[in-house]
């Protein structure tokens, strides 16, 4: 809009309000009734159209256009017209489902003196079925450093044999 301000809430407030919006309230759920007089609760919500041309969306003047559809209908999909992913339903909104979507990276690092480091880790993504060990070394001398990381995995896996290098310098 014409008067925009930056978010000034502390991060813990932002995390809490995000949780309330996404989990307690259900995010952007359609609250339209289906033919069986039940709310469909499909994430998607509304399209907005400024009918009176005042530059604002007036929900009480019918400028909120309900979007409807079922999986398989023409135009129905995982992405809306803005390219944002909108799939799911309130019935499938569980903490376990959210935990399954997390990607976990575990690792350890051992420094020998101040100059040499050995690293080992594990990359775990349950949804993407990725379970790869990772290895690495690091060298430091004066104000310079070199790091190398290697991700192993099954043959033909996109992350298998991935090597990462970095150079750094302290100022």
- Span 76-91, pLDDT tens digits: 555 555 655 555 555 5
How many other C-beta atoms can be found within 10 angstroms of the C-beta atom of residue 83? 6
**More confident: 164 or 36:** 164
**If pLDDT is split at 50, 70 and 90, which confidence band does 69 have?**
low
Q: What's the domain range around 70? A: 11-93
Angle, vertex CA 31, rays to CA 26 and CA 35, nearest 5? 135
Same domain, 18 and 88: yes
Cβ neighbours of residue 106 under 8 Å, at least 6 residues apart? Answer: 121, 122, 124
Same domain, 18 and 62: yes
Mark which of 54, 75, 93 sits at the end of a domain. 93
User: Among residues of the chain, what percentage have pLDDT more than 70?
Assistant: 52
At residue 26, the 3 state secondary structure works out as coil
What pTM value is reported for the model? 0.49
Q: Give the per-residue pLDDT at 137.
A: 98
Give the mean pLDDT of 40-44: 50
Among the ranges 12-16, 27-31, 85-89, which has the highest mean pLDDT value?
12-16
163: left (phi over 0), alpha (psi -120 to 50) or beta: beta
Residue among 165, 161, 164 at smallest CA distance from 152: 161
Mark which of 93, 112, 133 sits at the end of a domain. 93
114 pLDDT more than 60? yes
Same domain, 60 and 108: no
Q: DSSP string covering 147-159, please?
A: EEEEE--STT-TT
Beta bridge partners of 140: 145
Q: Give the per-residue pLDDT at 167.
A: 96
Q: pLDDT tens digits, residue range 119-161?
A: 999 999 888 888 899 999 999 999 999 999 999 988 888 888 9
Cβ neighbours of residue 52 under 8 Å, at least 6 residues apart? Answer: 58, 61, 63
Mark which of 93, 125, 140 sits at the end of a domain. 93
Q: Give the per-residue pLDDT at 163.
A: 95
């Amino acid at each position: 809009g014409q008067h925009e301000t930056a978010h000034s809430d502390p991060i813990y407030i932002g995390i809490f309000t995000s949780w309330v919006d996404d989990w307690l309230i259900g995010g952007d759920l359609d609250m339209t009734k289906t033919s069986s007089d039940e709310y469909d609760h499909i994430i998607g919500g509304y399209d907005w159209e400024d009918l009176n041309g005042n530059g604002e969306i007036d929900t009480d003047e019918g400028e909120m256009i309900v979007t409807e559809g079922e999986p398989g209908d023409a135009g129905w999909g995982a992405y809306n017209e803005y390219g944002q992913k909108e799939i799911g339903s309130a019935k499938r909104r569980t903490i376990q489902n959210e935990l399954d979507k997390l990607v976990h990276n575990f690792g350890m690092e051992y420094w020998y003196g101040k100059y040499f480091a050995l690293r080992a880790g594990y990359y775990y993504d349950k949804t993407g079925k990725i379970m790869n060990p990772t290895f690495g070394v690091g060298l430091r001398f004066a104000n310079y450093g070199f790091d190398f990381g290697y991700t192993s995995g099954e043959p033909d896996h996109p992350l298998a044999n991935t090597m990462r290098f970095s150079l750094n310098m302290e100022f």
